[in-house]
Structure formats: C-alpha cells, structure tokens
Amino acid sequence: MLEYGKYYHIFNKGAKGISIFIKENDYIHFLDLMSIFLTPVADIYAYALMGNHLHLVLRIKDKTEIGYLDSEYADSDDINLKWKTYPVNTSNKTSDSFNKKPVPGNMLKHMFNSYAQWFNKSHNRSGQLLKHNYDKIIIDNVTYLKRLIIYVHNNPVKHGFCEHPVEYGWTSYLSLISIKPTKLSRERVLGWFDDKANFKIAHNNSNDDFGDIKDLFLE
C-alpha cells in the first residue's frame, strides 16, 4: 500500500527480462498512461523508461489534494473520462456525483495493467508482460531524493545507451530542463537543486557509482 504524502521510488521490469518497450509508440503510450493514472494521485519528479524496465520517482498526494471521480463515468470505456478527477467546488454537477476518490496504489496497478494489455495487443503477443504489479521503496530524506533523481536520469548511461542523460529521449531529464509545458513537478525538482544550471551540473559526473543510495536501488 502506498501512503499519502510519502515519496517513493517505483520500479517495474519485464517478466523474465523481456522487453517492455520496443517501438517509439510504446514509450509514448506509457507516458500518456502516466498522465491519466498518475497525475491525479501523485506529483511526478522523475522517470526513466528503459528497454526491459522502468523507474519512477514520485510523491503520493495527500488525500485532501486528490480530486473526486465522476460516478457518471464509472463504467466508461474511455479511460480519460473514467479516471479523470474533478474538484467538487469547481464542478457544475451535483456533489452527489462525486463520492469516490481514486486510490493511489490501485491507480499504479491500473496503469501497468492497461499498458500490458495495450502492448500485447499492439505486438500480437499474449501472456505476462511485467514481473510484478510494481516494487517500491519509500524515500524519507531530501538529499537521497535528489541523488535518486540523478541516478534515474543516469540509468541510460549506466546501461550503455548513451554517455550523458541529455542524449536519451525517454527519461524526464529533457522535460525538466525544457521550458515546454509538462505534467512533471518541474519547479519543485529544479528548486531542490537551486536552479536549472546546478541541476545540469549535478548530472555531469559519469563516474558516480551512487554507492551512498544503494539501499534505494530496485534493479
């Protein structure tokens, strides 16, 4: 169970080490699902989508921060409507329509299940795609949280995909240094590093083995 208001490193991987991202559309679709399932219940700080695994760094929102689901769409096949949350005080509908909030842990499971079903259909395969619902480690130290963000962005470097995070397109690094709109908590993340320049500098040590946060690793 995920606790409200807590920070987490979330990890998932392919069953038996199989690839869970093959084509560009796979990465794009998973990011779309993150927007649908995670943004209503979590602040997203960092992610890395690799060939056979993925990392997420996020904060579960306090229960009072999470909006209500519209019961009129509870049985909808459109996941954008089914899982969209609405602040009751900004809706023109009656408050009776809003009596349920999404549960963070369930939203992660829905996200991974939805992706697995989509992936299997898209790649004409069947059977288990992901090894677990997901693995998690709670983070209770801002220093470790910053280090974990750097670690996640350097995961493609660790696995030999590139020599610097800026060269890999499927982590949150490029979105965090961009000025384009994003669903990430960009200002919060950059604020932990004081500014964008220091954020970039913190990612430049390719020889970092991250031994100080090895207890936060989930690979």
Distance CA 163, CA 159 (A): 10
Per-residue pLDDT for the chain (219 aa), expressed as one digit of tens each?
A: 899 999 999 999 999 999 999 999 999 999 999 999 999 999 999 999 999 999 999 999 999 999 999 888 999 999 999 999 988 675 555 667 888 999 999 999 999 999 999 999 999 999 999 988 899 999 999 999 999 999 999 999 999 999 999 999 999 999 999 999 999 999 999 999 999 999 999 999 877 888 888 887 777
Domain 7-64+102-216 has CATH 3.40.50.360: no
Distance CA 43, CA 60 (A): 6
pTM of the model: 0.94
Distance CA 215, CA 219 (A): 11
The residue ranges of every structural domain in the chain are: 7-64+102-216, 67-97
Question: 61 burial class (0-12, 13-18, 19+ CB within 10 angstroms)?
Answer: middle
Q: What's the token pair of residue 67?
A: 């909006």
